[in-house]
Amino acid sequence: MTHSRRDAIKFGALSLGAAATPLAALPAKGDLPNILWLVSEDNNPYIGAYGDKVAHTPHIDALARKGILYRNSYSDAPVCAPSRFAILTGMNPESCAPAQHMRAKAALPKDFQTYPELMRQAGYFCINNPKTDYNCGVDPKEIWDIQGPEGHWRNAPKDQPFLCVFNTGTTHEQHICQRDGGRVKPADVRIPAFLPDTDVIRRDYAEYYNIMERMDGEIGNWLKQLENDGLADNTIIFYYGDNGGILPRSKRYCYEEGLRVPLIVHVPPKWQHLAPARPGSEINAPVTLIDLPATLLSIAGIAQPAQMTGKPLLGRRIGKPATYAFGFRDRMDERYDLVRTVTDGRWRYIRNYMPHRALGQHVGFEWEVQAAYREWHALYLAGQLTDQQSAFFRPKPFEELYDLRADPDEVVNLIDDPRSKATADRLRKALDRHMLAINDNGFLPEGAPGEGYFESRDRAIYPLKSLMTIAASAARRDPRNVDRFIALLDSPVLAIRFWAARGLLMLGDRMPAEKTQTARTRLARILRDDSASEVRIVAAEALVSLGETSESVALLATLVDDPNSLPVRMQAMDALSNIGRAALPALPIIRKIANAELRRFVDVDYPKRMAKYLLSTLEGGYDPSTEGFSAQACLGANKGAPMFMGPPESAGWTS
């Protein structure tokens, strides 16, 4: 007879692992506080308590006055699913590919447990209402006592401490297309320097402030329920956003507005001995949301398993304040990129391993729901932007460095400023150490053999340190490396061949003329003979850049229609999207995919989105203004998306 994961938790059959405290040593139930997590989606700290004078967030502000405000808190990824993987597991998504990609399904090692499983073993009744989006194969109903809209502490046993997570989707990016209006008007907002200051963009900023105010009301409703139920004195309350905001160059991008989130914790007087600071305090040391599961285990008196990399922010043991917060970007929806970043709260360093791709690659959902993206793109195509505003649509530098105090909009790249050299070197080294420490999986193409927490630790498949060196050399686009890249095409290691081909691709017109024919010959051999489609795709795009189109485009057209691998289809379509008019021979296949019936959200929608955009650009009819949802479609999307949750009243719980 076999038991489910839920049964194993119930009967104590799952091992806590070598690093965990035995159940017999856990605190008694009466020694455990209740814990309430209030989670809002897609939020920068557009909040009064963080100093925003335009924001109207009285309930969150009141929570901050009697709680602890973390001034420099960050999500691990600038998008929900990888960020929620980190929160659920306490592991860096980049350590367990493909969890670092948006909308993937990573395999969590069978002996690893999530925080609700561990908290249940510690004696907590664990509730999640309703969003999951965990980016891995864990069944939410197996790890929670209650999962879904009916979840509430009122459904918990009275003699058991609860951990209750409420998620509000009111601030999710899809809602900005509604144009409901509110207290904040377009004239009230400040437009950052990287954006054109137009009426359309001002309206989106004002709308974001107004949906933040509506979300604040929902937070207030939950806090009032807790007070009315007589539980406030025995409940530690966390409020945080799951990733950065939704306005242009925020969600999906590795800048402050994509990664910085609010985090406020209220510890009632009874439990002040678990707090790191007095009520009303601020903590300036950088923290990330991966610290949250470690914090829960610290409150419950459980030692954290070795795979959980966060630091407890409060509880029975408090971690030493961190010096840095790290973030990343890999595939975001249908667009591939590879970005790693680190901040100390004052400076942000960004490393772009794919600088040949534009920062602002077209992402269908962004353009559909947000008028500001469409406006920005249209003005770029019309040649009406400044260089600073146009940078979003152009290839990226390999490295970026910003002084967040002097340049909060992150538009003045100081990477080549001699006065910033020591800071840049310090942050470079910190990022390298972090990537090696967590075994960053980002240099393995999505879908290739070797993905996974343990699988990627096989250095015969994934020699990380060497790959980091090769990828950095490729991204620097130095012509002196061409012979090295050509030689590495003979490597038996798939990931090395992949990055060698990408190095030749990124050289582009910097390729020395005397090396071009040798590069073509070797890439053509890869195109025909390599065992890995992922490597052949990069070779095909590189060959097009060197003037060899026929065989290359034919291969890409074949692979975009391959039903066996979604990552291969997306990678091939990504290559077609970036070779310009050379993709015209693939037009019949592109048109077929663009007109395909939508059957399942991920399997068809991402390639379909890519094909629709590519088709319109190849046929010369692309107009950003046509991409927006109609008012009816916007309303339907907001009512009908089951992964997002509206106000708490929709679950039947009111004060």
- HEC profile of 376-444: HHHHHHCCCCCHHHHHHHCECCCEEEEECCCCCCCCCCCCCCHHHHHHHHHHHHHHHHHHHHCCCCCCC
pLDDT score at 47: 98
305 preceded by a cis bond (ω within 30 of 0): no
Walking along the chain (655 residues) 10 residues at a time, the average pLDDT comes out as 44 35 57 97 97 98 98 98 98 98 95 97 98 96 97 97 97 89 96 98 97 98 98 98 97 98 98 97 98 98 95 92 97 98 98 98 95 98 98 98 98 98 98 98 98 98 98 98 98 98 96 96 98 98 96 97 91 97 97 82 75 96 89 62 35 36
Q: Which amino acid is at 529?
A: D
**Sign (positive or negative) of CA dihedral 639, 640, 645, 651:** positive
* Rounded Cα gap, residues 223 and 228, in angstroms: 9
Domain ranges across the chain: 39-320
Q: How far out from the chain centre does Cα 490 lie? A: 34
Q: Please identify every residue annotated as catalytic.
A: 80
Beta strands in 110-254 (DSSP E): 125-129, 146-147, 162-168, 235-241
Q: Which residues of 210-233 are buried (b: 16+ CB within 10 A; e: fewer)?
A: bbbbbbbbbbbbbbebbeeeebbe
Cβ(328)–Cβ(442) below 8 Å: yes
* Long-range pairs of 221-224 with CB within 8 A, sequence gap ≥ 24: 221/647, 221/648, 221/649, 221/654, 221/655, 222/36, 222/38, 222/166, 222/648, 223/38, 223/59, 223/63, 224/655
DSSP state at residue 106: B
SS3 131: coil
Question: What element of type H or E holds 211?
Answer: helix 199-228
Categorise residue 181: left if φ over 0, alpha if ψ from -120 to 50, beta otherwise. Answer: left
Cβ(165)–Cβ(240) below 8 Å: no
CATH topology of domain 39-320: Alkaline Phosphatase, subunit A (3.40.720)
Closest to 437 in 3D by CA, of 320, 330, 306: 306
Count, residues in the chain: 655
SS3 15: coil
pLDDT score at 319: 77
pLDDT score at 140: 97
Radius of gyration of the chain (CA): 25
pLDDT in tens, 546-560: 999 999 999 999 999
Q: How far out from the chain centre does Cα 252 lie? A: 6
pLDDT score at 597: 81
Q: Which residues of 152-189 are buried (b: 16+ CB within 10 A; e: fewer)?
A: bbeebeeeebbbbbbbbbbbbbbbbbbeeeeebebeeb
pLDDT score at 3: 40
Cβ(65)–Cβ(280) below 8 Å: yes
Cβ count within 10 A of residue 631: 11
pLDDT score at 138: 97
Cβ within 8 Å of residue 550, ≥6 positions away: 585
Cβ(72)–Cβ(272) below 8 Å: no
- Gap between the terminal Cα atoms of the chain: 45
Cβ within 8 Å of residue 478, ≥6 positions away: none
* Maximum C-alpha span of the chain: 79
Cβ(655)–Cβ(219) below 8 Å: no
Q: Which residues of 572-605 are buried (b: 16+ CB within 10 A; e: fewer)?
A: bbbbbbbbeebbeebeebbbebbeeeeeeeeebb
* Rounded Cα gap, residues 453 and 626, in angstroms: 43
* Rounded Cα gap, residues 464 and 541, in angstroms: 24
pLDDT score at 178: 82
Cβ(480)–Cβ(505) below 8 Å: no
* Rounded Cα gap, residues 522 and 553, in angstroms: 17
Cβ within 8 Å of residue 258, ≥6 positions away: 78, 243, 244, 245, 249, 250, 251, 252, 327
Cβ count within 10 A of residue 455: 17
Cβ within 8 Å of residue 62, ≥6 positions away: none
Cβ within 8 Å of residue 495, ≥6 positions away: 443, 444, 445, 448, 450, 461, 462, 463, 467
pLDDT score at 651: 37
* Rounded Cα gap, residues 645 and 572, in angstroms: 35
DSSP state at residue 270: G
Q: Which amino acid is at 562?
A: D
SS3 303: coil
pLDDT score at 522: 98
* Residue listed under structure tokens 């924001």: 55
Tokens representing residue 7 in the block:
């049964």
Cβ(38)–Cβ(219) below 8 Å: yes
Tokens representing residue 399 in the block:
């490295």
* Rounded Cα gap, residues 137 and 145, in angstroms: 18
pLDDT in tens, 411-464: 999 999 999 999 999 999 999 999 999 999 999 999 999 999 999 999 999 999
- What's the order of all strands across the beta sheet hosting 146-147? 146-147, 125-129, 162-168, 34-40, 235-241, 263-266, 68-70, 281-283
User: At CA 309, angle to CA 84 and CA 403, rounded to 5?
Assistant: 80
